Amino acid sequence: MRGVVGFDCVRGRLPGRFDKRVPEGGITDDLVISVALTSEDPAEILRKLLSLPTGTEWVEFKHNRADPDEIGRYISALSNSAALLGRETAFIVWGVADGTHDVVGTSFKPRQARKGNEELENYITRKLDPRINFKIHEFCVNSRDVVLFEIPPAIQGPVSFDRERYVRVGSYTKNLRGYPAKEAELWAVRSRGAAKRGVSRAVKWVAVVVVLILREYSMPRQSALGICRHRPIPQQFVRLLRQISPRSF
């Protein structure tokens, strides 16, 4: 049942944002799926994922198999691969046949699953480093249970599970140690992200300065003779404002 038609019970919501950057290779079928989704309906998200080809490095489809340690390795690999591919989210979906993408349903109940005496979500989170905030969504499609894990990209550096880092190579999950170029790129992603956040903070402070200058000199002030006059902006501030926004000043 590749076409997802009905949605008869929803127990989770998925914000579902996809990256919109165009890679050097141009627009591909895979990239079309990356268009940002504004709907919060998990069925709409699932429809997009089902149209992906097999062997995607940022989505894993499963039927029932849900070994806790295997899930942890998947999360590490998918998070790292999402960062390498510029994706805003990676996914694991249970209840979908991997080869055909048919919706077959799943018996996996992540909220009830445990590793020993520990809840599954806590067990996996405890062994992730850094402890990324993955989300679990459970819903039904045409009376078939579906589970979706939403996984953020590794923007703080490579994500490890149980002290090992993993990455996707096609549809396979591999130890990152065997792919030094990918690991180096993940650290570069972290550096670029830190630089971008630094620029963003600087822009915000510049905006604050501009607002304060304009507010200070746009308000009329009363002179000693009781006359209200606008004060001219000092030349040093004018030069600063022109450097910030040449067209405005």
Residue with tokens 């089902």: 50
d(CA 237, CA 34): 44
78, 87 in Cβ contact below 8 A? Answer: no
Instruction: Give the pLDDT score at 229.
Output: 62
Structural domains of the chain, with CATH: 9-178 (3.30.950.30), 199-244 (no CATH)
Q: What is the C-alpha separation between 11 and 139, in angstroms, rounded?
A: 5
HSE-CB for 14 with a 13 A CA cutoff: 33
**Helix H or strand E encompassing 44:** helix 42-50
Count CB atoms within 10 A of the CB of residue 132: 17
- Average pLDDT by stretches of 10, the chain with 249 residues: 43 37 44 41 85 86 96 98 94 93 96 96 97 94 94 94 97 96 92 55 62 64 59 70 60
Residue with tokens 């510049």: 206
Tokens 């459970």 found at: 138
Residue 18: CB atoms within 10 Å: 17
CA distances from 89 to 155, 156, 193, 240, 243 (A): 11, 15, 16, 40, 38
Other residues' Cβ atoms within 10 Å of the Cβ of residue 42: 24
pLDDT at 16: 37
- Indicate the Cα dihedral angle 229, 230, 236, 237, nearest 10°: 150
The pLDDT value recorded for residue 212 is: 67
CA–CA dist 180, 193 (Å, integer): 20
Phi and psi at 222, nearest 5°, equal -85, 130
Q: How far apart are CA 155 and CA 35, in angstroms?
A: 20
